[in-house]
Every structure is written in C-alpha cells, then in structure tokens.
A and B are shown apart, each in its own frame.
Chain A
Amino acid sequence: MKVLAFSHSMDLALELVSAGRELGDVSLLVTSDQEGRINEVKGAKEVLLCKGLDSGDQEGLVELISGLASDYEVVLLASDRRGRELVGQVAHRLGASSAVDVSSLSVEDGKLVVERMTFGGKAIAVEEMSLPAVISVQKGKFKPPEEGEPSVREVSAPSIERRVEVIERKEKPKVGVPLDKAEIVVAVGRGFRKKEDLKLAYELADVLGGVVGATRPVAADLKWMEEEVWIGISGVRIAPKLLIVVGASGQQQFAAGIMDSKVVVAVNTDSKAPIFEQADYGVVMDLYEFLPVLTKKLKEIKGG
C-alpha cells in the first residue's frame, strides 16, 4: 500500500512516517520551510520536496496534496489544528473517506480500520474506511523510525488563485490551563486540615507544571476552592497524563471523574481508603510528611 504523509510540524511528520509504515511505503511531503530538516527523515521510502510552497499556505497544500494523492491509497496528516483543517478538504476533493485523531490503524479486507476517541472520550469508535482514505493521526502514538534513508524527489508547486490571504502572524501569549485540559493534576481532599495547608498541593503542582483540583467536600461544601475545580460525576471530569490524589478517600462520585486519567497516584493515611483501588501507585502516609519531601525531590530533579 502506498502512503502519502505531511505535517506542518516536522516532529509530527516523523511520527506520521512511523504510522504509515504500518500500512506500506511512505512518501513524506516536505515544504520549502521544512527543507532544512530533510536529513532527519528516516524510514520513509522517499521525500517529496516542494520548494515552491510554504507550509503556511493551506490552500496551496490542499491543492498540492489532492493532486499528489491520486498515486496513493492513504494520506496521513497530523492532528494539530492545521493538519485537521486539511483532512476534510483533501478527503472531499478526492472523494475519499476521512477520520481525525486516529490512535491505531490497520488494513482488513481491503478496508482501512482505525480507532479513535469519541463522545468526549467516553467511547472508542472502530471505523471501517473505504480506500482512498485521508486521516489525521493522534500525537504521540507512534515513535519516529530511526533508520532508512529516503530518496528525494522534487515536486512542483500548484498554481492556483488564492482566496485566503495571510496578513499577519503572531506568537500566542501563554494562558492558564483549565482543569479538564490539564496534563498534570493534583487533587486535594478532606485530608487537608485547613485551607492554608492547600499550599502544599499548590507547591507540588507548581513544580510539576500542573494545576490543582478538589473533591466535592473541599470545593462545594467547605468552599476552600472554586466550584469549577470540583472533580467528580457532577463536577469536572478530568483526563490528565498524571493525577496525584492527596488526602481524598475516593468516593464513587469522585472516582467517576478521574477514570480517564492515565496514571493515578494516591496519598492517604488510611490504607483501606477506596482510592487505593483506583490508583496505579499508592503511598500510605501522612500527606503533611510526604508532600514536602516529594516536592523537594522533584524540585531537585527539575532544577538539575
């Protein structure tokens, strides 16, 4: 099977090569602004270099990719915003099937079978796609290949009338992360004896680059924190990479809200607390002793 891949981000492009190799030979499209990183491309059959097109030109990319795609069964794009913007347009131009944010892909009976999250992360859809297919691949699912020198072939830029004109581009200021989008969350429960003590959790969150959330009693009843940070079945459902639950027993209410977390750590003095059944790593210890030490050690690592 022949696969055409492209991403605005060279890092993601390398992941796409790896994903594409699960299906067959990969041709990676490289635009003029990416030319300097061509030698990082490993594992692709060939690199298609378009010296006349910048990756900022979305209309040009739709045209170019749609034109090249007639020689391929599958087009792989990245799941960043500009990648996703291309998927539907390219697919429709080709009369192809489409899917975004795909986490796995395989071929069965001449159809492409992909998996992707749907319903706000509550379900995984297994989708059967007819060929040709255009998909965007979830970030971080595939490791870039380390070997295999591709050949380089130049392709020419399309000449079309542009209807979208970029007039300005500026860096974004960094903003605070909402709880449900945070990658690292420290969740606090009733194990904290008073509001002021929550600073132990904030210090831990700071060193990890995470945010602090709370159980229902802390947020809704004691009002130590805003209700917006209440994690649970009727509060916010979170899906961080790392969740550290401190001083919370793990009532079912709360448990339902943390289900989607990747790695869960629990710190609680009560070894029988249900939270330990919902955790990957449990520390049966007084949070007032454990947290300062953990924060200090993390600081040492991050600082060094």
Chain B
Amino acid sequence: MADFDVIVVGAGPAGSVASYLLAKRGHTVLTVERGKRPGAKNMFGGRLYSWSLERIFPEFWKEAPVEREVTKEVLGFLHGERGVEIRLSTRPKGRSFTLLRAKFDQWLAEKAEDAGAEVISGFKVERPLIRDGRVVGIVAEGDEEMEAEVVIAADGALSFMAEKAGLRPKLSKEDFAVGAKEVIELPKEVIEDRFGLSEDEGAAQLYVGDLTEGVIGGGFIYTNKESVSLGVVMRIGSLASKVSEISTAMWEVTEKFKSHPMIRRYLEGGKLVEYSAHIIPETQFMRGVKLYTDGMVVVGDAAGFCVNYGVTVRGMDFAIESARAAAEAVHHALESGDTSARSLSKYQEILSSGMLREFETAKKAVDLMEDERLYSSIPKIAVETLEHLFLVDGKPKENLYSFLRKEFSEEGISLLSALLLGWKALRSM
C-alpha cells in the first residue's frame, strides 16, 4: 500500500487547488512545498484573472486576501525621458485582481489543509520515484522515498519532476526570461490619488521602450492595497553568459525604469520592502511537453501553462484550471483503481474541451509581443508623433503624414509593415 493516495509537489496555486479538490473528495493527500511557507518563493502572477478559481470558490474575493480589483489598464511607451500612457478605465465582466503571492498562496494552501491535505513546507523533493518505468512516488531530500498512487507535479517553471519523469526535455537558458520585482510601500490614499483609483480599485500598467535597449521585455506596475508591485521582465537568457551579468543587468534596468520621470512620480516617497529576481518560462519551449505518464500528471507552470507577454506573465488562472482538470482525472483514476497513463489521459481530454482553446488564443497575443520593434521603434515613434502633434513653437508645422513617413523610415519600418503590426495586434486581442 502506498503511503498516500496522492502526493502533490509544490504548494503554489496549482498544487494547492489540486490538493484541496482531492482531499475534499476523501483521498489522502500529502503536499510538499519547497519554500519556507506556501508563497514564499513565488513572485510573479501579481494579478489573477478570476474565472478559473471562481469555479472552485464562488466569489472567492470576498474571503481571499486579494488586494484590488483591476479597473484601470495602462499601456505605456517610454523613450528617453519622455513617455506616452494609454489609459483604459473599465469594469470588465471577467474580473481580475491584484494580489500578493505570499498571502494569497498561503490562503489557498490553508484551504487544502482544512480539507484534510497534509501540507509540509520547507522540504525539497528531488525527483519522482520511478519503478519499472512508472512513477510510484517521490524521492525527497536526503534520499527519502515516499510512495503514492499518483504524483502531481506542481513544482513550477523549472519542474525537475516533469523533466526527470521524461515529460519534457532538459531546458537551456534560452528557454527563459528573467524577471525582477520590487514591492514598494505607499499609503493607501497616495496610491488611489496617483493612479486615479477609488477604494479597492486597482491598476495594471505595462511599459515598453528603450529602457530594455531593444531586448524583448519591459516594465510593469500593479497596485496593491498599500503597496505597488513593480518589476521588469527581460528575455536576456541568450544574451548574457553569466548569471552575475544577468542579475546586474536586471538591477540596472529596474533602477532605470524606476527613475523614468513618468514612473518616478508614482513611487515618490515609497519604501522598498521586498526585492527578488526570478526565472520565467518562455512559452515556446512548452511545445513538446507531455502532461501525464503512468502514475503522474503535471500542472500549472510546470506544464507550461503560462503565457509570457514579454512585459508581463499570465499563468495563475491557467494553473488553477489545469489543477482542477487534473484533480478530476486523478479522482477518477483512483476510484477506478487504474492510475496508468491511459487512465490519466482524461486530464488532457478535459483540458482539450476547455482551457486549451483559451490558452491558444492567449498565446497568439504573444506572437505579436515577439516583434522586437515593439520594444524599440514603436515607443519612439509613439512618443515623437504625439510630441509633433502637440508641439507649438511658432514655426510652420510639417504635416502628420510626412512626419510619420520620416519617423518610420528612420526606424527602417515601412508604413505597410507598421500597419501589418497594428493589424496583428488587433487580431490577437
């Protein structure tokens, strides 16, 4: 007899949701988290689209530690000291919330615990325990073996579990982007004033421009209740050869972002309370990932259910939905006494009829964000065009069309390709 029906590796949103659902249905569940506490090691996903979690906990935001509901979306172009911000005020049907992972992940893990799962933090799982080509449990630090009927790998982007079970190829550093994040504390009223928010409303602001020096990436700001999360994402894995170069570059770009006149005014008087740098999976590498094998399924970031938009990352909603599908499949497998790959393939079936379609749409937007011109030429043209429109210096004004032609030709972009870029953008939305 196995030690547990299910061992879940990782207590992020995917791991905790899977643990919760399976424990609730009466299975014995052990959840092992590497961080000191659930959420301690997580940084990105400061924003949660609510649709998937709502299916499990209706109106969860009334109880969960969310920070603010996003009602202001801002896209910004930065060029030198100048910048343009496009601000959308909205109250969309599909709600989304800013949150602090340290608190939120802990809340979800407690839900799993209350449902009966054993959640153990501060413990590292080394690899899946494989016998006769089948996953039968885990090997924890210190070579300790623990058996389970089914293992759920929810161990994040770097998932050694998936890799060592042969579910995905070994990754190289080109497969990752790097992110740095700071949490800066500001009084509640100051945040609401500076970002134009009423109580509980939040803003999600994304910026691209020359701060990343042509590299795909950019900066983001999310408003929390009494702090803002600010950070930079850059696809520089392939550009730098040493870890030290990467982290120094991240630090410098973050500082540059923070000191831009348009960004600085949001942060003035704030207090830095947290800094962290992390690795973020690129979407491309996930083609070629298998979601299940005999005795194991992979969920969340570990399965690549994470979309990197270059500037920001969306993954929590997919992670939660994939965990729900996995829990469903695992429950059936346990009930039927057959936890083979064939039985667990139900996981993929559930996903195919639902989430995967939404996921593909989301990934299309990424193709647009792959265009490097978005991080160099476009911000410059946006800033200079608006400057041209608003500039009054008593001299005769060039007409807009010939100004634009000049701008685009300086950047080596034809008007036609600019239009194509715009069209691609529209299509991907």
Name A's B-contacting residues (CB within 8 A): 217, 220-223, 233-234, 251-253
> Which residue in B244, B272, B275 is a CB contact (below 8 Å) of A221?
B244
Contacts of A220 in B (CB 8 A): 247
CB distance from A198 to the nearest CB of B (A): 16
B419 within 8 A of A: no
B248 within 8 A of A: yes
Contacts of B272 in A (CB 8 A): 252
> Which residue in A221, A223, A233, A234 is a CB contact (below 8 Å) of B248?
A221
Query: With the chains together, A253 CA to B247 CA distance in Å?
Result: 14
Contacts of B251 in A (CB 8 A): 251
- Mark interface residues in B225-251 (1 if CB within 8 Å of A CB, else 0): 000000000000000000110011001
CB distance from A144 to the nearest CB of B (A): 43
- The closest CB in chain B to the CB of A218 belongs to B244
- The closest CB in chain B to the CB of A233 belongs to B275
- The closest CB in chain B to the CB of A223 belongs to B244
Query: With the chains together, A194 CA to B428 CA distance in Å?
Result: 49
Query: With the chains together, A17 CA to B244 CA distance in Å?
Result: 55
CB distance from B278 to the nearest CB of A (A): 14
Contact in complex: B244, A222 (CB < 8 Å):
yes
16 contacts between A and B (CB under 8 A): A217-B244, A217-B247, A217-B248, A220-B247, A221-B243, A221-B244, A221-B247, A221-B248, A222-B244, A223-B244, A233-B275, A234-B275, A251-B251, A252-B272, A252-B275, A253-B275
CB distance from B312 to the nearest CB of A (A): 24
Query: With the chains together, A233 CA to B244 CA distance in Å?
Result: 19
Q: Is the interface of B mostly helix, strand, loop or mixed?
A: helix
- Mark interface residues in B326-352 (1 if CB within 8 Å of A CB, else 0): 000000000000000000000000000
B: interface residue count bin:
under 10
Query: With the chains together, A2 CA to B166 CA distance in Å?
Result: 78
Q: Report the 10 A-B pairs with minimum CB-CB distance, sorted nearest first.
A: A221-B244, A252-B272, A221-B247, A222-B244, A253-B275, A217-B248, A221-B248, A221-B243, A217-B244, A233-B275
Query: With the chains together, A221 CA to B244 CA distance in Å?
Result: 4
CB distance from A188 to the nearest CB of B (A): 15
Name B's A-contacting residues (CB within 8 A): 243-244, 247-248, 251, 272, 275
Contacts of A252 in B (CB 8 A): 272, 275
CB distance from A128 to the nearest CB of B (A): 32
Query: With the chains together, A223 CA to B248 CA distance in Å?
Result: 13
Contacts of B275 in A (CB 8 A): 233-234, 252-253
Query: With the chains together, A77 CA to B275 CA distance in Å?
Result: 44
- The closest CB in chain B to the CB of A224 belongs to B244
- The closest CB in chain B to the CB of A253 belongs to B275
- The closest CB in chain A to the CB of B274 belongs to A233
Query: With the chains together, A222 CA to B244 CA distance in Å?
Result: 6
CB distance from A21 to the nearest CB of B (A): 43
Contacts of A221 in B (CB 8 A): 243-244, 247-248
Query: With the chains together, A221 CA to B277 CA distance in Å?
Result: 12
Query: With the chains together, A234 CA to B272 CA distance in Å?
Result: 13
Contacts of A217 in B (CB 8 A): 244, 247-248
- The closest CB in chain A to the CB of B243 belongs to A221
Query: With the chains together, A253 CA to B275 CA distance in Å?
Result: 8
- The closest CB in chain A to the CB of B242 belongs to A221
- The closest CB in chain B to the CB of A255 belongs to B272
Contacts of B243 in A (CB 8 A): 221
Query: With the chains together, A251 CA to B248 CA distance in Å?
Result: 12
CB distance from A193 to the nearest CB of B (A): 14
Query: With the chains together, A252 CA to B272 CA distance in Å?
Result: 8
Query: With the chains together, A77 CA to B211 CA distance in Å?
Result: 61
- The closest CB in chain B to the CB of A251 belongs to B251
Query: With the chains together, A234 CA to B275 CA distance in Å?
Result: 9
Contacts of A233 in B (CB 8 A): 275
Query: With the chains together, A234 CA to B277 CA distance in Å?
Result: 12
Query: With the chains together, A252 CA to B267 CA distance in Å?
Result: 15
Contacts of B248 in A (CB 8 A): 217, 221
CB distance from B41 to the nearest CB of A (A): 13
- The closest CB in chain B to the CB of A222 belongs to B244
CB distance from A222 to the nearest CB of B (A): 5
Contacts of A253 in B (CB 8 A): 275
- The closest CB in chain A to the CB of B272 belongs to A252
CB distance from A12 to the nearest CB of B (A): 40
Query: With the chains together, A170 CA to B322 CA distance in Å?
Result: 65
Query: With the chains together, A206 CA to B243 CA distance in Å?
Result: 32
Query: With the chains together, A217 CA to B242 CA distance in Å?
Result: 13
Contacts of B244 in A (CB 8 A): 217, 221-223
Query: With the chains together, A116 CA to B255 CA distance in Å?
Result: 38
CB distance from B249 to the nearest CB of A (A): 11
CB distance from A218 to the nearest CB of B (A): 10
Query: With the chains together, A234 CA to B243 CA distance in Å?
Result: 18
Query: With the chains together, A249 CA to B50 CA distance in Å?
Result: 42
Beyond A217-B247, A217-B248, A221-B247: 13 further Cβ-contacts under 8 Å?
A217-B244, A220-B247, A221-B243, A221-B244, A221-B248, A222-B244, A223-B244, A233-B275, A234-B275, A251-B251, A252-B272, A252-B275, A253-B275
Query: With the chains together, A125 CA to B264 CA distance in Å?
Result: 37
Query: With the chains together, A233 CA to B272 CA distance in Å?
Result: 11
CB distance from A256 to the nearest CB of B (A): 9
Query: With the chains together, A253 CA to B272 CA distance in Å?
Result: 9
CB distance from B344 to the nearest CB of A (A): 40
